[in-house]
């Protein structure tokens, strides 16, 4: 499940549930619809309510990173569970998409 709030050029998205092969296409579609607004330049994904993510989820995040990079934007993550953080760190994506704190994410 996905909820969001937008302020100026920052879109804060809260994900709940699992981001896996079953849910990835729906979340990808919803994120792409939100990011179709060219005024959105920064995406912050709050994963506090997401206990599990697999490689399909990593693909969703990486795809949104690529799309926003083309327009000079950024993607960042926050509130990763220990399991999600492990998958994220092992993937190497932590080198290009930062995990930020609450204060940095204020839309």
Q: How far apart are CA 3 and CA 102, in angstroms?
A: 17
- Confidence (pLDDT) at 20: 95
Return the bridge partners of 53, or none: 19
Q: What is the pLDDT of residues 36-65, one digit of tens each?
A: 999 999 999 999 999 999 999 999 999 999
Contact (CB, 8 A) for 76 and 98? yes
**Main-chain phi, psi angles of 106, to 5 degrees:** -60, 115
pLDDT over 90, % of the chain: 93
Could you list the residue range(s) of the whole structural domain that residue 52 is in? 2-105
Q: What is the DSSP letter of 55?
A: H
* Chain centroid, CA 70 distance in Å: 16
Q: How far apart are CA 57 and CA 64, in angstroms?
A: 11
State the pTM of this model.
0.92
- Confidence (pLDDT) at 101: 84
Total domains, the chain: 1
The CATH number of whichever domain residue 66 belongs to comes to 3.30.750.24
């Amino acid at each position: 499940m996905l909820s969001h709030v937008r302020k100026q050029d920052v879109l804060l998205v809260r994900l709940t549930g699992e981001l896996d092969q079953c849910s990835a296409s729906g979340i990808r579609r919803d994120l792409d619809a939100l990011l179709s607004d060219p005024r959105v330049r920064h995406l912050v994904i709050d994963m506090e309510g997401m206990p599990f993510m697999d490689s399909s989820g990593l693909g969703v995040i990486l795809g949104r990173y690529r799309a926003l990079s083309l327009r000079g934007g950024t993607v960042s993550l926050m509130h990763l569970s220990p399991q999600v953080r492990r998958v994220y760190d092992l993937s190497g994506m932590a080198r290009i998409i930062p995990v930020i704190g609450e204060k940095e994410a204020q839309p």
